[in-house]
Amino acid sequence: MSALQEIFDDLGGRFEARLRDHRTVTRTASMREGQITLANPIAVLEVKFDFEVLDRLHQPSFVGVERQTSKGPTYMIYEIIALRPTHFQMLGMDVAMPTVLRKEYLETIDSSWGKSDETWIDVVSVPTNYRMDIVDDGLQFSRARLVPLTGSKVYLLSNDTVKKFLCVEGGVSVGSLMGFNMPLTVKLESMIKYHAGLFGFTGSGKSNLASYLIREALQRMPDLKVVVVDVAGEYSIHLLDLVARNGLVFSTEDFGESAVNFLNSQAVPETLEEEVAEDTLLEKIKKLFDQKRVQRISLSAFEEAPAITIDYIISILKKASEGSTGAIQATIALQKIVKYFVEEKGYEIETDVSNLSEEDRRRLIAILDNIIQTVHGMSSIKVDLTALVDYIKEVGSHEEQMTETKKPATMNPESLAYFVLGKDSPQLNIIYIPDPDDARYAISRFIDRLLLLKKTSGARSKTLVVLDEAQEFIPDRAVRGDFSDSSNKSVEALLRQGRKYRAHCWLCTQRVAHLNVNALQQLHSYFVSTLPRFYDRMVIADAFSLSYDMLERTTELETGQWLFVSYKATKQKNVPAFIQTINNEEILVNNLLH
């Protein structure tokens, strides 16, 4: 019995409940893309009325519904979403009743709470699709879709059981579990690897939470490079201490080396202004300019010299194989290059030779050297190939060039991609482009080049792109005129392909219903705060197979409170949990003033 007391919490013998009903609720909504129909199962529990129980159930809670099976009892885990204290006389009361009689009913009901057996609490809960089995070495959780049996006993899960159910041992805290007063720990690397989204209305604290998560990611993953795309001008302030330590801000704006101009362009939270004086912020920003941590980025597409690619070398050898001097050697070399570089190593023929690994560059030089050594000293093919070999020896692979992280005098989106992938480039890079059209144009070019480098140069460093105001970059209706078509394709490619090349993405937005659904469905972790629009909640419920009744509770959340769900980062898949997140401003203030 003591073991059960540790698994369940009966609130000192006050919690008594049974399953009264189990049914499926269907909701339909008309959206721009068509009609969405959601079918969600719910369970109605009948709980003995008690004021302490009522107070506890107002907080997020999990229950175990006992389910007899052929192999013995198991417990289906449900999450509570709504309460309704009920008195027997409420069922027979109607507005059509005479006023005197209604008043008598209401007075009887009022005096009966906590005193009469004719009162109870109707509790609505939704399944987590997990079962809990009590085994010799503890608890075992597994996916299950068993139908609960009416009349079954229901038990309130204890804090310790919830911790074993949800929290990852040794994980990173994303906040405190509401109702349980303990941190929700997750696998942060999985949250990065499989992409994540932050969805909430204006003022819900999206940038605050994203900034805290970026802090944790940079601290725990030293090899991670973060690129924040900031349209609203929030992150240079939220992460000011990190930028000063190991970061850069790139912007299309000309601040004239003025800290005042820079500060005026940023959205400084009022709560931060109350804690940190403006002079202190200006002093910190001035140091950024002194250390050249605020840089201009140009949207110009610089002219590039023709690349020396595998295809270019193949064309030279083909031409030589058709001539009179060195034709046989050129043909043999051509076969070796195609067989090794294209068929065995899988290089695209458009791959620049500077993108080859050091070993493969040596292999290429050896093949070309063999021709040089066997053809006549005055032949044109020898002159051409000698120049090629000298060039290949001079250029390092991009990986070697990146170790020096030489930042060009003028940065554009393409050169920024090269720079970010450098081994010695700063961990944090913030791109502040306030004009949405310019931002879409720049980011599509940056992401395209980033993915190209990841695919062709073997740059294996982990890169996280954080897109704030994501609705600007991946709208459901994209057009060419404002570059939303190109940014949509680029971001969707990043979400679909990036994980294979260690390029990852987080999205922050308040307009979920207007996002590209194909991109949205690539996210495996997501935070949801207050979304007052019904259709935004419907899109999330549909995209992530989440109970709409659960999402309805997000309308009650306050700033800093979130519903967190993950397929990869939590101990169990797709189990919603309400959390109170850590305030990034408190960390920032402490770092700025001490």
Interval 554-587: pLDDT, tens: 999 999 999 999 999 999 999 999 999 999 999 9
Residue with tokens 């140009």: 298
**Contact at 8 Å (CB) between 416 and 250?**
yes
Residues in the chain: 594
Per-residue pLDDT, 28: 82
Parse the chain into domains and list their residue ranges. 2-166, 185-299+410-593, 310-398
Section 508-523 average pLDDT: 88
Cα(388)–Cα(376) distance, rounded to whole angstroms?
Answer: 17
Section 249-271 average pLDDT: 94
Half-sphere exposure in the Cβ direction for 102 (13 Å, CA): 7
Nearest to 184 by CA among 174, 193, 192: 174
Quick one: CATH architecture of 185-299+410-593?
A: 3-Layer(aba) Sandwich (3.40)
Cα(347)–Cα(344) distance, rounded to whole angstroms?
Answer: 8
Cα(311)–Cα(314) distance, rounded to whole angstroms?
Answer: 5
Do the bridges between strand 138-143 and strand 119-135 make them parallel or antiparallel, or are there none, so unpaired? Answer: antiparallel
Section 100-122 average pLDDT: 91
Q: How far apart are the first and last CA of the chain?
A: 52
Q: Which of 242-251, 393-402, 478-487 has the lowest mean pLDDT?
A: 393-402
With residue 218 as reference, give the H or E element that holds it: helix 206-220
Q: Which of 30-39, 84-93, 483-492, 503-512 has the lowest mean pLDDT?
A: 30-39
pLDDT(16) > 90: yes
Q: Considering Cα of 48, then 51, then 54, then 60, what sign does the dihedral take?
A: negative
**Contact at 8 Å (CB) between 441 and 489?**
no
Q: What would the pLDDT profile of 183-198 be if each residue is shown by its tens digit?
A: 999 999 999 999 999 9
Section 460-469 average pLDDT: 93
If DSSP codes are grouped into helix, strand and coil, which group holds residue 197? Answer: strand
Per-residue pLDDT, 397: 44
Q: How far is CA 378 from CA 318, 319, 537, in A?
A: 19, 17, 75
pLDDT(518) > 90: no
Residue with tokens 């330590």: 245
E strand residue ranges, 451-560: 462-467, 503-509, 525-528
Per-residue pLDDT, 305: 55
Per-residue pLDDT, 39: 85
Q: What is the mean pLDDT of the chain?
A: 89
Per-residue pLDDT, 378: 62
Per-residue pLDDT, 398: 44
Per-residue pLDDT, 306: 62
Cα(16)–Cα(50) distance, rounded to whole angstroms?
Answer: 10
Per-residue pLDDT, 511: 84
Task: Determine whether 560 is exposed, middle or buried from the number of CB atoms within 10 Å of its CB (0-12, 13-18, 19+).
Answer: middle
pLDDT(90) > 70: yes
Q: What would the pLDDT profile of 287-321 be if each residue is shown by its tens digit?
A: 999 999 999 999 987 545 566 888 888 888 888 88
Percent of the chain with pLDDT over 70: 94
CB count, 10 Å around CB of 385?
Answer: 26
Q: How far is CA 530 from CA 267, 524, 537, 555, in A?
A: 21, 20, 9, 5
For residues 397 and 222, the model is more confident at: 222
Per-residue burial over 391-400, b if 16 or more Cβ lie within 10 Å, else e, is ebeebebbbe
Instruction: Kindly state the DSSP code that residue 89 receives in the 8-state scheme.
Output: G
Nearest to 125 by CA among 85, 159, 76, 165: 76
Neighbour order of strands in the sheet with 182-186: 182-186, 172-177, 577-580, 561-566, 525-528, 196-199, 503-509, 462-467, 224-230, 428-432, 247-251, 294-296
pLDDT band for position 377 (cuts 50, 70, 90): low
CA 22 from centroid of its chain's CA atoms:
34
Per-residue pLDDT, 403: 45
pLDDT(446) > 70: yes
1 CB-near residues (< 8 Å, 6+ apart): none
Per-residue pLDDT, 1: 44
Tokens representing 410 are 């003028």
- The residues pairing with 86 across neighbouring beta strands, listed in sequence order, are 120
Section 19-37 average pLDDT: 82
Per-residue pLDDT, 455: 82
CB count, 10 Å around CB of 304?
Answer: 7
pLDDT(542) > 90: no
If DSSP codes are grouped into helix, strand and coil, which group holds residue 238? Answer: helix
For residues 136 and 450, the model is more confident at: 450
Cα(157)–Cα(165) distance, rounded to whole angstroms?
Answer: 10
If DSSP codes are grouped into helix, strand and coil, which group holds residue 133? Answer: strand
pLDDT band for position 32 (cuts 50, 70, 90): low
